[in-house]
Amino acid sequence: MSPDANRAVKRRSRISPERAAELFALVLDRLREVGYEALSVEAVAAEARMSKATIYRQWGGKPELVIAAVRALGPLDVDGIDTGDLRGDLKAYIAQYHVMSAMDRGMNRAMVHAVHRDPRLMEAVRQAVITPGLAALDVILARAVGRGEVAAGCPALPYVKYMLIGTLGSGMDLGDTVDLDFLDGYIDHVVAPALGLPPAPRP
């Protein structure tokens, strides 16, 4: 192992999983209470009785720390989605994001406002959540094209990501209740027809 790799391992090992979990819980509490802008690494470090330098060394800054804390709530498991057909894959995919967004609406509201004010947080969210999620969606759609479920030249393919992201945010924007039944119906009656899928079987 190279000296640089050794140093990286030592940096990562300085905070135990238990201490990291305590820190993440504290970060999320502060995020709910004061919002992202007023949250400071210094205050979190003092309350956690942890060195500010240790936090910066481990995570790099406030955006990365907040993202790590949000991700610690639970894994967003979209990489392994493969139900055997596109309709099922899309429902499983959007359900993962729904679970994440519904887990803590107060915290999510704080995050939505924050990403538009802090370019570093936006980039951290992009790297940790958006880019991997879109890559997984690309795999799902490409697999459906390979199976012949969707025509390779289907004009709706480039718009699927916008359709899914838009409906996930509609509950917060419009004040509506977006639950899994609503999302299943959205896939069945909006996304699937746009992709040329046959109608969903009647229950």
30 CB-near residues (< 8 Å, 6+ apart): 39, 43, 44, 47
User: Of 7-16, 25-34, 167-176, which gets the smallest average pLDDT?
Assistant: 7-16
pLDDT in tens, 134-177: 999 999 999 999 999 999 999 999 999 999 887 776 655 555 66
pTM of the entire predicted model? 0.74
| Signed CA dihedral, 153, 158, 160, 163: sign only | negative
Torsion angle defined by CA atoms of residues 189, 194, 197 and 200, in that order, rounded to the nearest 10 degrees: 0
